[in-house]
Amino acid sequence: MARKFLYVFACLVVLTIAGAFAYRLYGVEIIRWWAVPSAQFGSQAPVAANAYADPKMWPAYPRRATDAARWTPPGYKPDPKAPAAVFYIHPTSFLGTKHWNAKLDDAETNARAELFLRGQATAFNGSGAIWSPRYRQATFGAFLTDAAAANQALDLAYGDISAAFDQFVKEAGDRPIILAGHSQGALHLTRLLRQKIAGTPLAKRIVAAYVVGWPVSRTTDLTALGLPECARADQAGCILSWQSFAEPADPKMILDTYDRTTGFDGRSRRGTPMVCTNPLTGTANAKAPAQANLGTLIPSAKLDTAQVQAGAVPARCDPRGFLLIGEPPAMGNYVLPGNNYHVYDYSLFWVNVRADVARRLAAFEAAR
């Protein structure tokens, strides 16, 4: 089902498509024509068993002097003594069309990935040291086609993530574990949860799993993931997920595709509600005013700096599980069709996410 979620686009799509009017009328068709590789999938060997013992394979790595995941806006600082270990999987930053998967040394792709580290992973640097692997991610065009190559590309990407996670577990020692991902990264995180965590002793070390920007069906998916949905703000060992839309929201493209897919338990997802955690409250199916938003991370035009603004957007979960944020806020040029604020899922609630993970970590440690 992974390749069928058409809404998973990389952050620079809007600027790479010429002709704004044509994009509004035929956006998906134009993107599909432009973005899906015409080349055959080229099989590649798995990474070496010890590949992720090399610090160069980690854009964010605790043993490095500094990295993008330790950036903070004015008024905030990372905590080098924070007790948790964070495994963060960045979203699609590869926009290429000549290959189905990114090369590990692709400078442009890696630079975009660091933007995501600053805008997303930094929300966790007050609670733990961050490991974020470089991986041969599938190009975003892989999500726009039924070609077999798309699944092969995603499998290759997950193989890298799986190897990186094994190394992370070795290096994390006995620390509490926080899992986080976005978009393609969240997709790979659901597979990690199913294949390497659910039903294992490792599950007892999970503080929380932030499966953001990817749909999780309450009915057909949660049981297979091995952790419950977060129902309380101080609950540990649970899953959070949300997908942000301004209003009027038009998530039809997502719903039409979601309803045609099969869940992790083999049943149809049609009509099933998606997990919706309100990041302003840390609870499920909740509603909160803008005053509850402790701070949105608003990037500069050049994306080289950002400022925190409190009270910028409200949030409420709708009946199907989308997170609605009121009138469209001015976040930048990367809003997707249908008022989809997918690119900004973390930064809209950056301070609240930071507080959320600290609260859940405190609850985890108190219970332990």
The predicted-structure confidence for 333-352, as pLDDT tens digits, reads as follows: 888 889 999 999 999 999 99
pLDDT band at 181 (very low <50, low <70, confident <90, very high): very high
Assigned token pair, 320 = 């199907």
pTM of the model: 0.91
pLDDT band at 332 (very low <50, low <70, confident <90, very high): confident
Burial class (CB in 10 A: 0-12, 13-18, 19+), 225: buried
Closest listed residue to residue 185, CA positions, set 205, 168, 165, 206: 165
CB atoms within 10 A of CB 89: 28
Closest listed residue to residue 279, CA positions, set 229, 241, 322: 241
Locate tokens 């992973």: which residue?
Answer: 121
Burial class (CB in 10 A: 0-12, 13-18, 19+), 202: middle
Give the range among 112-121, 202-211, 298-307 with minimum mean pLDDT: 298-307
- What is the average per-residue pLDDT within 355-363? 98
Strand 296-299 with 306-309, pairing: antiparallel
Task: Please provide the distance, in angstroms rounded to a whole number, between the alpha carbons at the two ends of the chain.
Answer: 37
pLDDT for 167 beyond 50? yes
Read off the pLDDT of residues 207-244 as tens digits, 9 standing for 90 and up: 999 999 999 999 999 999 999 999 999 999 999 999 99
The predicted pLDDT at position 28 comes to 57
pLDDT, greater one: 101 or 220: 220
Rounded CA-CA distance 185/57 in Å is 16
Cα distances from 218 to residues 38, 63, 267, 273, in angstroms, run 36, 38, 12, 6
The predicted pLDDT at position 343 comes to 93
- What is the average per-residue pLDDT within 140-167? 89
pLDDT, greater one: 117 or 6: 117
The predicted pLDDT at position 30 comes to 54
The predicted pLDDT at position 3 comes to 37
Locate tokens 């290429």: which residue?
Answer: 96
pLDDT, greater one: 266 or 143: 266
Spans of all domains in the chain: 2-367
The predicted pLDDT at position 262 comes to 94
Query: Is the four-CA dihedral 238, 243, 247, 251 of positive or negative sign?
Result: negative
- What is the average per-residue pLDDT within 33-37? 65
Cβ atoms of 294 and 348 within 8 Å: the answer is: no
- For residue 129, what are the β-bridge partners? 85
The predicted pLDDT at position 254 comes to 87
pLDDT band at 20 (very low <50, low <70, confident <90, very high): very low
Rounded CA-CA distance 210/225 in Å is 12
The predicted pLDDT at position 14 comes to 35
Residues counted in the chain: 368
pLDDT, greater one: 102 or 140: 102
pLDDT, greater one: 366 or 7: 366
